[in-house]
């Protein structure tokens, strides 16, 4: 927790210091009130006391109460400010850290858990700070000050107060032993509930199509019930604190007055007045001591969960990304991609996904990758933008190992289109001009040109606001083919040296696919294109085709060459093209 709080700035620590000062003022004024009560009690019972003297002491009491109120307002304001800033800076740090994570770290934490840590966990710690700056600081000061005030009054009263405090402490310790382990599970179950909810929202169409609403409902109910039962256990146990607190406070008040009655009965007349005043003062101070512990109890009720949340936040912040940033900002060549004996396996996996892959794509070439499902095509292409790092061998971009590149500089060279078209909430224009590639944002003319090359002009200009048409999150108000064309236009608008298309034409019809590739070939004649595809028709005109099978490179050449020399490629072609088409392609290659 302290490690997390250390991330606060100097300004916030100054605010916390102000809180300490005003809490001390607040405590001092609150503890002065019983002294004036005692003076008023003695004045009322003393012959010859004037009303002006009583009103004077009462006026001091009111001033102390008002001063205490003002100090409380100041403390509350600055405590809220510190807590709000902590929430802001911590959420920003988590977001920035997650943005630097590689695919390995994202799989480790899972999206649902990262969302919970950024929102719910930060809120738990934020609540502790807001209350803690007031209670954790105030309670010890008040308890110590009040104890010092009453120690010299009466040993019997002090003993009664001590017994009350011991009962409270024992109760708190027992509850902490029972409840603290359970609080560790609360956030995990919250993650699970978040995951199921997110899964249900993302897959709503499939769920409805398969009439699986009841099945999903049952999954949610089970997760919800599990979380409810755990929360009930925690709240029932923590709920014991209030009755125990009430019992101790009322019992202590009664004990003080019973002891006071016994002492007053035995005393002479002059001592009776003094004892009565001491009893009133002692009762007030004893309540202040117990109230201090009551404030600490409030903190103890939220501390266990906040402590768990703090650990979960630090787990994210202290996780080092497996993808280390390099220093190189410029390559030795232009538009080249080379794999040198590259092998790759996922962390903790025994088998390699890719084995001994070597090839080079020159500037202006179109290099395609094809193979059966699970052959490692997407994994291979993902090594170029460093979503993963090669386990063995080297991946070179512009003659430099990608591990040596500054990540921003590497990304500025690439134009990446993912397997699943990602559309952000905004407008068509915002999505095409998305990101920073070290240049000025593309103009509207450039955006229109990119959309035209991606064969999207027809559908975009039919939209109500054309390029200013609002896109929903994940592009749910666009079709699959429309989303893919917008994603392709986004890469084109960057004018990168190297294009990466990870099966990015799968949602397009054959005519659109053909037209797009023709226009793309013209537009990117000086750029290198790496294309992962399932369809032979998409890549048959590539300068170089690499055939993968079970992670191994089993063929490399042109379409015609592979039809003659590569059995795996020929089998894929036979499954997609007719015999007449294959014979025609073979004749063209002769």
Most confident of 39-43, 100-104, 185-189, 330-334: 330-334
pLDDT above 80: residue 427: yes
368 pairs with which residues across the strands?
Answer: 531, 545
Q: Per-residue pLDDT tens for 196-239?
A: 887 787 777 778 777 788 888 888 888 888 888 888 888 787 77
Is residue 405 exposed (0-12), middle (13-18) or buried (19+ Cβ within 10 Å)? buried
| Res 582: pLDDT | 64
Q: Which single residue is written with the structure tokens 């943005």? A: 99
SS3 505: coil
In this prediction, residue 590 carries a pLDDT of: 44
| Closest among 100, 564, 123, 528 to 320, alpha carbons compared | 100
What pLDDT, on a 0 to 100 scale, did the predictor assign at position 459?
A: 82
Instruction: Give the chain's mean pLDDT.
Output: 79
Highest mean pLDDT among 97-106, 283-292, 435-444, 530-539: 530-539
Mean pLDDT, to the nearest integer, of 243-259?
80
- Please report the domains of the chain, with CATH numbers, ordered by start residue: 2-317 (1.20.1560.10), 337-589 (3.40.50.300)
Looking at per-residue confidence, does 369 or 141 come out higher? 369
C-alpha closest to that of 384 among 437, 342, 322: 342
Mean pLDDT within 461-481? 79
pLDDT in tens, 76-113: 888 888 888 888 888 888 888 887 777 777 777 777 77
Rounded to the nearest 10 degrees, the angle between the axes of helix 269-317 and helix 155-202 is 30
SS3 149: helix
Write the pLDDT tens digit of every residue in 504-535: 777 777 778 778 778 878 887 788 888 888 87
What six digits make up the tokens of 378? 């997407």
Name the 3-class secondary structure at 355.
strand
- Tell me if 287 sits within 8 A of 253, measured CB to CB: yes
pLDDT computed for residue 150 by the predictor = 66
**For residues 476 and 482, what is the distance between their CA atoms, to the nearest angstrom?**
11
Q: Averaged over 31-46, what is the pLDDT?
A: 72
pLDDT at 5: 63
What's the mean pLDDT in 118-130?
Answer: 83
Q: Evaluate if residue 288 carries a pLDDT over 70.
A: yes
Residues 45/47/49/54 CA torsion (nearest 10 deg): 10
pLDDT at 489 over 70: yes
Locate 16 and state its tokens.
């916390």
What confidence score (pLDDT) does residue 587 get?
A: 59
DSSP secondary structure of 380-437: HHHTTTTSS--SEEEEEETTEEGGGB-HHHHHHHEEEE-SS----SEEHHHHHT-S--
pTM here is 0.69
The residue written with tokens 């004749």 in the block is 587
| Tokens read off for 288 | 């202040």
- Classified as helix, coil or strand, 502 is strand
pLDDT at 468 over 60: yes
Task: Give the span between the Cα atoms of 563 and 585, in whole angstroms.
Answer: 9
Helices (H), 101-121: 103-109, 111-116
**Percentage of the residues of the chain whose pLDDT score is greater than 70:** 89
The answer to whether the beta carbons of residues 291 and 142 sit under 8 Å apart is yes
533: exposed, middle or buried (Cβ count in 10 Å: 0-12, 13-18, 19+): buried
């Amino acid at each position: 927790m302290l490690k997390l709080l250390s991330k606060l700035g100097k300004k916030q620590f100054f605010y916390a210091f102000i809180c300490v000062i005003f809490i001390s003022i607040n405590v001092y004024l609150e503890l002065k009130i019983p002294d004036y009560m005692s003076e008023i009690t003695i004045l009322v019972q003393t012959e010859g006391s004037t009303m002006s003297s009583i009103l004077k002491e009462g006026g001091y009491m009111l001033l102390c109460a008002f001063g205490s109120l003002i100090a409380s307002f100041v403390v509350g304001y600055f405590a809220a400010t510190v807590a709000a800033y902590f929430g802001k800076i911590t959420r920003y740090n988590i977001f920035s850290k997650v943005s630097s994570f590689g695919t390995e770290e994202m799989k480790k934490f899972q999206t649902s858990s990262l969302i919970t840590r950024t929102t719910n966990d930060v809120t738990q710690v934020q609540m502790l700070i807001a209350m803690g700056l007031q209670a954790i600081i105030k309670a010890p000061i008040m308890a110590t000050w009040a104890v010092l005030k009453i120690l010299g009054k009466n040993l019997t009263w002090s003993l009664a107060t001590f017994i009350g405090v011991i009962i409270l402490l024992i109760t708190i310790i027992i509850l902490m032993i029972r409840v603290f382990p359970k609080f560790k599970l609360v956030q995990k179950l919250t993650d699970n509930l978040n995951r199921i909810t997110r899964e249900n929202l993302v897959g709503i169409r499939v769920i409805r199509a398969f009439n699986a609403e009841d099945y999903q409902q049952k999954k949610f109910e089970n997760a919800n019930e599990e979380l409810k039962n755990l929360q009930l256990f925690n709240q029932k146990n923590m709920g014991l604190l209030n009755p125990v607190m009430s019992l101790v406070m009322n019992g202590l008040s009664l004990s003080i007055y019973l002891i006071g009655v016994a002492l007053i009965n035995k005393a002479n007349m002059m001592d009776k007045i003094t004892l009565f005043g001491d009893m009133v003062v002692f009762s007030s101070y004893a309540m202040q001591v117990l109230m201090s512990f009551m404030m600490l109890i409030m903190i103890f009720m939220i501390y266990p969960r906040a402590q768990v949340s703090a650990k979960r936040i630090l787990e994210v912040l202290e996780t080092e990304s497996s993808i280390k940033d390099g220093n190189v900002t410029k390559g030795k060549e232009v538009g080249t991609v080379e794999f040198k004996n590259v092998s790759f396996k996922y962390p903790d996996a025994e088998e390699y996904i890719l084995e001994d892959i070597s090839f080079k794509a020159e500037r202006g070439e179109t290099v395609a990758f094809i193979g059966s499902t699970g052959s490692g095509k997407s994994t291979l292409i993902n090594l170029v933008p460093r979503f993963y790092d090669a386990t063995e061998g080297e991946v070179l971009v512009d003659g430099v190992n990608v591990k040596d590149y500054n990540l921003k500089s590497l990304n500025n060279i690439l134009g990446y289109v993912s397997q699943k078209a990602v559309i952000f909430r905004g407008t068509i224009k915002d999505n095409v001009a998305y990101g920073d590639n070290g240049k000025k944002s593309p103009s509207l003319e450039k955006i229109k040109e990119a959309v035209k090359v991606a064969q999207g002009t027809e559908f975009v200009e039919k939209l109500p606001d054309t390029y200013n048409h609002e896109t929903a999150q994940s592009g749910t108000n666009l079709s699959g083919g429309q989303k893919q064309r917008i994603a392709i236009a986004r890469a084109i608008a960057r004018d990168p040296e190297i294009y990466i298309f990870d099966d990015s034409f799968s949602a397009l019809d054959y005519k659109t696919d053909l037209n797009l590739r023709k226009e793309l070939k013209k537009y990117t004649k000086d750029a290198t294109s790496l294309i992962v595809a399932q369809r032979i028709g998409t890549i048959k005109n590539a300068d170089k085709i690499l055939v993968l099978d079970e992670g191994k490179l089993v063929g490399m050449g042109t379409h015609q060459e592979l039809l003659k020399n590569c059995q795996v490629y020929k089998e894929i072609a036979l499954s997609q093209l007719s015999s007449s088409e294959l014979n025609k392609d073979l004749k063209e290659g002769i």
